[in-house]
């Protein structure tokens, strides 16, 4: 999955696959997680958030099924 890099103290990059509704996040420690059944609107809200780390903590973390992939 193609990810875009961001300036964040927590997140290095993230990407979204609209055909499978998977949000993939690479954290600054190098670990990559996938979050399942994420609405596309949530991805766009994250893109426009002032802080993607704060958005992640408030709206994604512990809200969706997840799997570490890297």
- Looking at the structure of the chain, the number of domains it has is 1
Q: What pLDDT shows up at residue 17?
A: 97
Which pTM value belongs to this model? Answer: 0.94
Structural domain of residue 12, as residue ranges?
4-68
Scored b (16 or more CB within 10 A) or e, 20-43 reads ebbbbbbbeeeebbbbeebeeebb
pLDDT at position 61 is: 96
Weakly modelled stretches of the chain, pLDDT under 50: none
Q: What is the pLDDT of residues 38-54, one digit of tens each?
A: 999 999 999 999 999 99
Residue 45 pLDDT: 97
């Amino acid at each position: 999955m193609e990810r875009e890099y961001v300036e964040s103290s927590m997140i290095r990059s993230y990407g979204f696959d609209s055909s499978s509704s998977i949000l993939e996040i690479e954290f600054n420690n190098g670990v990559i997680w996938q979050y399942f059944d994420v609405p596309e609107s949530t991805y766009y809200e994250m893109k426009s958030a002032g802080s993607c780390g704060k958005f992640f903590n408030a709206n994604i973390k512990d809200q969706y099924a997840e799997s570490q992939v890297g």
